[in-house]
Structure 1
Amino acid sequence: MGHIASNKDDLLKRVKRIAGQIQAVERALESDHDCAKTLHLVAATRGAINGLMDEIIEDHAREHVANPALSDAERSQGVEELLEAIRRYSK
């Protein structure tokens, strides 16, 4: 996946921010923080993960589905990979 390499630093920054958000949720649970605040932390983390997923889906679609240089077989494979990832994510 060479196309991810061009975006690698930005994606890794996002992942590190998400890891920090997960740690904040863990700290909130360990400290018996108010459940409303903990819910907000979880919601923010989910939003961040959704944003990361959206970005990677878009990159995959552009590179492995919409790229006119690809053969029909390569595009078909790209669509199947994308659909499988979406199915797994939706569960």
Structure 2
Amino acid sequence: MPKQIEDQKKILLRVRKISGQVQAIERALIEQKNCDAILQQICAARGAMNGLMHELLEVHLKDTLVVNQSSEQERSEELQNISKILKSYLK
């Protein structure tokens, strides 16, 4: 979780918006809306998830690698962890 209160608020706001988008997709499916509209909502939710990933990654890097007083070894390990996450994300 982000360490700065401002960052926490921004991340939670993004998650709440995504939740609303997913709920809208569910409602559209239940109401048997047009597939084009549902696909467009899915694209929007995917874009929002990508934005969340970017924002959280940026905050994490700042909190962990820049602001934090960590050793070279700790930074190297964290970089490896982030690299694994990004590889998984980009599959």
- TM category (shorter chain) comes to 0.7 to 0.9
1:83 and 2:91 equivalent?
no
By relative contact order (CA 8 Å, sep 6+), the higher-ranking structure is 2
Partner of 1:48: 48
Count of aligned pairs: 91
Partner of 2:10: 10
Q: State the distance in 2 between where 1:59 and 1:73 align.
A: 20
Q: Which amino acid aligns with 2:44?
A: A
TM-score, structure 2 as length reference: 0.84
* Counterpart contact for 2:7–2:59, Cα < 8 Å: no
Runs of 5+ unmatched residues, structure 1: none
- Cα distance, 1:87 vs structure 2: 2.0
TM-score, structure 1 as length reference: 0.84
What CA deviation, in whole Å up to 9, does each residue of 1:3-50 have, x standing for no partner?
355511111111011000000011111111111110110000000000
- Cα distance, 1:85 vs structure 2: 1.4
Runs of 5+ unmatched residues, structure 2: none
- Cα distance, 1:65 vs structure 2: 3.4
What is the root-mean-square deviation in Å for CA atoms of aligned residues?
Answer: 2.0
Specify whether residues 4 and 82 from structure 1 end up closer, same or farther in structure 2 by C-alpha distance, changes over 3 A only: farther
- Percent of aligned pairs with the same residue? 35
